[in-house]
Structure 1
Amino acid sequence: MPPLHRVLTLAAVSVLVLTGCTPPADVPPGEVTSAADAVRELPGVDHVAVTRTPSGAEPVQGNFGQLTEPTPSTVSVEVTLAGTLEPRAAGEAAGEAHRLLVAAAGSVDDGENITMASSFVGGPGLGVSAGPDTTSEVVADAVEDGFGLLAAGATTVDLGLGGGGDGSWDDDPLAATAHVSAATRDDFLEIARAAEDLDRGVELQAPGVLYRAATRVPDVDAVRLLVAAAARPGVVDATYLSQEQRLTLRSDAEAGSQNLTDLHGWLETQDFATADHPVAYTVMDAAYAETTGWVSGVEPAGYAPHTLEPFGDAEPWPEDPTAPDCTARDLAVTFGAVDSAAGTRGASVRASNVSGVPCAVENVPELVFLNDAGEAQPDVATEPYEPGVVPGRVVVPDGGTVLAPLLWRAMSTANDPDTTTTIEVTTVPRADPVPIDVTTDGTPATGLDVLDGAEVRIGPWTQGD
């Protein structure tokens, strides 16, 4: 195996909350500088650079007249490891560097309260982010795994070790899905085997091919099926969604062509799916018309009614039969960012409980898609998110957020059609619809490609992440 010619960079980001004095604008705290000196002495460390980016140090007048916290400044520590290090040695060096830097941030006693968030990047291969509560052992494992995946043929590996936007950090290695890119689909199998050995959840991507497993360790057989399907004549894009057990293929063949007939026949004769684990497939032709079926020809006898599992890794919220139903006033509605893969769009409508007490929801929200003129998009069909799914009663704690997932097929915006810029959301039965702008916060500024004739799959309210 050729040596790894990789450079690992650690960018340790520290947030300074000023409590009584203003530090020099561009001078890092002495404790962090001393820790950087100690990191320089670690085996395998080639270089350490420490910088500080000043920011606002004075309280700022906020909404309603109150003073906000001073704008934090940032200290960055960049550590370069020797590219020839073995994965275990790279992990040990990164873990010890993280430990030293976090300890230094916690020992600052000159009027500054420092919180450190570390970001490990390796150009061009590895990127790992970690927070102050992420242990050095988890950092070491992540960096070691990243180098191992690079050794297995990955071109880039990105891992996030926590930080869900609420100040919490998750030290479960499987919560850190490795987003892995490869030069070609032919590298997928070796990378998937490596991830399985490392017990690491991955998302694999190469030009025209995507394997998405959320936090799950990859199913090597499913990866093998995806790679083989992507190599079939005429297939342009191939996606396997592990959580949905669905294979989606886009072909450049015309409807009714022999290529499409052969592709369906190949899918239905594969020795892969079983009655206990059926896998649906969708094939899109050159005109994006869809045909569906079941891999291996194994169609489930029927879909038993079921609710959606909570999104994310949080423990399910407790049930409370005495909790009242949420009203429209209890729920603040927002729109989740759009994600795209192989011609499919995914997003969510989110509702946060602002009532001050727990309340319950048990329905699918009603959605109306409006263009920039405020007119409803014609002929938009809404369908269940997946067969058999039914709403479950979710008791939303005060401040908790539920989401309703959305899926739709990408539609062409080449001729500047009237895109969807607003969605009217009826959160609970008999509530007044609430308009939400869908041209900001992770969505295209021109709106969503939910156009005339779109089909949107909508899920029921489910515990969010």
Structure 2
Amino acid sequence: MPPLRRVLLLAASAFVLAGCTPGPPDEIEAAAEAVRALPGVADVAVTRTFGPEPGQGNFGQRSETAPSTVRVEVTLDPHAAGEAAGSAHRLLAGAARDVDEDENITVTSDFVGSGLRVGAGPDTAAEVVADAVEDGDELLAAGATTVSLGLGEGNGSDPLAATAHVTAAAPDDLVDVAEAADELDRRAELEAPGARYRSGAGVPDVDTVRLLVAAAGRPGVQDATYLAAERRLAIQSDAASGAQSLADLRRWLEAQDLATVDAPMAYTVLDAGYAETTGWVSGAEPPAHSPGPAGGATPWPDDPAAPDCTGQDLELTLGVVDSAAGTRGSSVRARNVSGRPCAVENVPDLVFENATGQPQGNVTVRPSEPGAVPARVVLPDGGAVLAPLLWHTMSTANDPDTTTTVQVTPVPGADPVPLDATTDGTPATGLDILDGAEVRVGPWTQGD
């Protein structure tokens, strides 16, 4: 197992007056001293930095609520990393909760070192931190280069609720890492040069990772990405249209013994000119394909009596934009806020507008994968569905009119809802969906 170095970062805000620089709160200093005495702790360093009060510059009077950051760096013995991390988090998070609430303190923690980063909030159980560190060590030992986990709000006390974001030096290393994640039952997204496994917050399927790695090594393949939420393998080739290597690649994909008509997997292959060919892995084309829940989650129960969702029943947001091999991906998410179950069975209608509110011209909208048809999904109260988006990157040189607003009509008969495409995980300049773009949109599928 590689040597480890863990760091616990505590972010807090406290008072600072012009001309003076207070040290860390006494509660944090006392906890740091206690951490120094823990078995397995090699070193502890505490630093504090200050930011300007809102509306103030870097100099001048600050109020007692001006933000500051306390950083506690804890170096641990690698042979007791998980246990020591849990004990350190228990002491430091407890101290952070004891700091005067009037100081407007927020606390986060990051354990990092030798490729590992585990983030946690003050309400995260110490046992969860310890388990996450131990899982991270197992993934590193299996061949990962870096492992990052966030244990923030929404994960509760479940040590397996967080998704590990894992990188490796080469695609071949991803198979051993996937096997380790499967044995740990740890949700993980995997990435190596030329190969990406987007798990959709699920445990990686080892056989699919093997297929991804093998596809990444085929002649002419520059990049291979598996999108679990769509059950689709997206491949970028450097071969020209009509090249023999493209025909060989498609035959190879359709000859694999993996997918079935009951569990189909689509593929898309882009040639050097970004012309796309679609098909089905293992040649298993379903007669009428309906995408399943994102990440292979257990489907929500059907309720034949549930009414159709109306536009007012759904709260809409845009997902984070991801990029790979000349393409971009995102999603539209709809959460049921009606207070009762309701059902959707359609593809959302989208209009892409520039900063002046004018629709982008000549935008072609097509299905996200071959054969996809909407399935009826009954959303429980608070449940969310997502519709995946995929488009080719487009040049934004010479300041073209990018898409800054997406008008979304979530269900038939609803009023369009404008979503800002310049915030919350989308580029500040907007989406590079310009005149003449082709956007692939999938039907609503179970999200979370």
Q: Give me the TM-score of the superposition, normalised by structure 2.
A: 0.83
**1:118 deviation in Å?**
1.5
Which amino acid in structure 2 is aligned with residue 148 of structure 1? E
Q: In the superposition, relative to structure 1, how do residues 313 and 26 fare at CA in structure 2: closer, same or farther (>3 Å)?
A: farther
Distance 1:314 1:114 in 2: 39
Is the aligned partner of 1:150 residue 2:133? Answer: no
Aligned to 2:60: none
**Which of 421, 424, 438 is residue 404 of structure 2 equivalent to?**
421
Q: In the superposition, relative to structure 1, how do residues 354 and 74 fare at CA in structure 2: closer, same or farther (>3 Å)?
A: farther
Distance 1:427 1:278 in 2: 26
**Which of 145, 169, 189 is residue 203 of structure 1 equivalent to?**
189
Conservation of the 8 A alpha-carbon contact between 1:404 and 1:458:
no
| Secondary structure in 1 matching 2:207 | helix
Aligned to 1:445: 428
Aligned to 1:66: none
| Secondary structure in 2 matching 1:188 | helix
**Which of 41, 52, 55 is residue 48 of structure 2 equivalent to?**
52
1:99-248 equivalences under 5 Å are 99-108=90-99, 116-122=107-113, 124-163=114-153, 168-248=154-234
Distance 1:99 1:5 in 2: 23
**1:319 deviation in Å?**
8.0
**Which of 370, 381, 390 is residue 408 of structure 1 equivalent to?**
390
Aligned to 1:63: none
Distance 1:463 1:125 in 2: 33
Conservation of the 8 A alpha-carbon contact between 1:411 and 1:449:
yes
**Which of 411, 428, 438 is residue 455 of structure 1 equivalent to?**
438
Q: In the superposition, relative to structure 1, how do residues 335 and 275 fare at CA in structure 2: closer, same or farther (>3 Å)?
A: closer
Q: In the superposition, relative to structure 1, how do residues 255 and 77 fare at CA in structure 2: closer, same or farther (>3 Å)?
A: same
**1:309 deviation in Å?**
4.1
Q: In the superposition, relative to structure 1, how do residues 177 and 46 fare at CA in structure 2: closer, same or farther (>3 Å)?
A: same
Q: In the superposition, relative to structure 1, how do residues 44 and 271 fare at CA in structure 2: closer, same or farther (>3 Å)?
A: same
Is the aligned partner of 1:295 residue 2:277? Answer: no
Q: In the superposition, relative to structure 1, how do residues 253 and 74 fare at CA in structure 2: closer, same or farther (>3 Å)?
A: same
**Which of 27, 31, 35 is residue 31 of structure 2 equivalent to?**
35
Distance 1:326 1:409 in 2: 28
Q: In the superposition, relative to structure 1, how do residues 319 and 29 fare at CA in structure 2: closer, same or farther (>3 Å)?
A: farther
**1:370 deviation in Å?**
2.1
Distance 2:101 2:194 in 1: 53
Is the aligned partner of 1:76 residue 2:59? Answer: no
Distance 1:73 1:326 in 2: 45
Conservation of the 8 A alpha-carbon contact between 1:117 and 1:132:
yes
| Secondary structure in 2 matching 1:154 | coil
**Which of 246, 249, 254 is residue 235 of structure 2 equivalent to?**
249
Is the aligned partner of 1:98 residue 2:89? Answer: yes
Which amino acid in structure 1 is aligned with residue 3 of structure 2? H
Aligned to 2:248: 262
**1:454 deviation in Å?**
2.9
Conservation of the 8 A alpha-carbon contact between 2:120 and 2:152:
yes
Cα deviation code 1:196-246 (max 9, x no counterpart): 222212111111110122332222221111111111100000111233322
Aligned to 2:11: 13
Q: In the superposition, relative to structure 1, how do residues 229 and 81 fare at CA in structure 2: closer, same or farther (>3 Å)?
A: same
Conservation of the 8 A alpha-carbon contact between 1:361 and 1:394:
yes
Q: In the superposition, relative to structure 1, how do residues 314 and 176 fare at CA in structure 2: closer, same or farther (>3 Å)?
A: farther
**1:77 deviation in Å?**
1.5
Q: In the superposition, relative to structure 1, how do residues 15 and 138 fare at CA in structure 2: closer, same or farther (>3 Å)?
A: farther
Conservation of the 8 A alpha-carbon contact between 1:180 and 1:204:
yes
Cα deviation code 1:332-382 (max 9, x no counterpart): 655333122344423234567889x76957454422112345432233233
With 291-300 and 337-346 compared, the bigger mean Cα shift is at: 337-346
Cα deviation code 1:14-60 (max 9, x no counterpart): 466x9xxxxx8532222221111121122332221123344678999
Distance 1:317 1:133 in 2: 32
Distance 1:369 1:71 in 2: 40
Which amino acid in structure 2 is aligned with residue 149 of structure 1? L
Which amino acid in structure 1 is aligned with residue 152 of structure 2? G
Which amino acid in structure 2 is aligned with residue 119 of structure 1? D
Conservation of the 8 A alpha-carbon contact between 1:177 and 1:214:
no
Aligned to 2:269: 283
Conservation of the 8 A alpha-carbon contact between 2:120 and 2:150:
yes
Q: In the superposition, relative to structure 1, how do residues 191 and 406 fare at CA in structure 2: closer, same or farther (>3 Å)?
A: closer
Q: In the superposition, relative to structure 1, how do residues 39 and 296 fare at CA in structure 2: closer, same or farther (>3 Å)?
A: same
Which amino acid in structure 2 is aligned with residue 253 of structure 1? A
Distance 2:248 2:256 in 1: 12
Distance 2:101 2:13 in 1: 15
Distance 2:275 2:204 in 1: 30
Aligned to 1:65: none
Distance 2:187 2:336 in 1: 32
Which amino acid in structure 1 is aligned with residue 43 of structure 2? H
Distance 2:158 2:299 in 1: 13
Distance 1:261 1:324 in 2: 44
Conservation of the 8 A alpha-carbon contact between 1:280 and 1:293:
yes
**1:428 deviation in Å?**
5.0
Aligned to 1:389: 374
RMSD: 3.9
Distance 1:109 1:450 in 2: 48
How many residue pairs get matched? 436
Q: In the superposition, relative to structure 1, how do residues 203 and 58 fare at CA in structure 2: closer, same or farther (>3 Å)?
A: closer
| Secondary structure in 2 matching 1:38 | helix
Which amino acid in structure 2 is aligned with residue 407 of structure 1? L
**1:136 deviation in Å?**
1.0
Distance 2:260 2:332 in 1: 34
Distance 1:90 1:145 in 2: 11
| Secondary structure in 2 matching 1:194 | helix
Distance 1:38 1:79 in 2: 12
Conservation of the 8 A alpha-carbon contact between 2:404 and 2:431:
yes
Q: In the superposition, relative to structure 1, how do residues 361 and 293 fare at CA in structure 2: closer, same or farther (>3 Å)?
A: closer
Which amino acid in structure 2 is aligned with residue 152 of structure 1? A
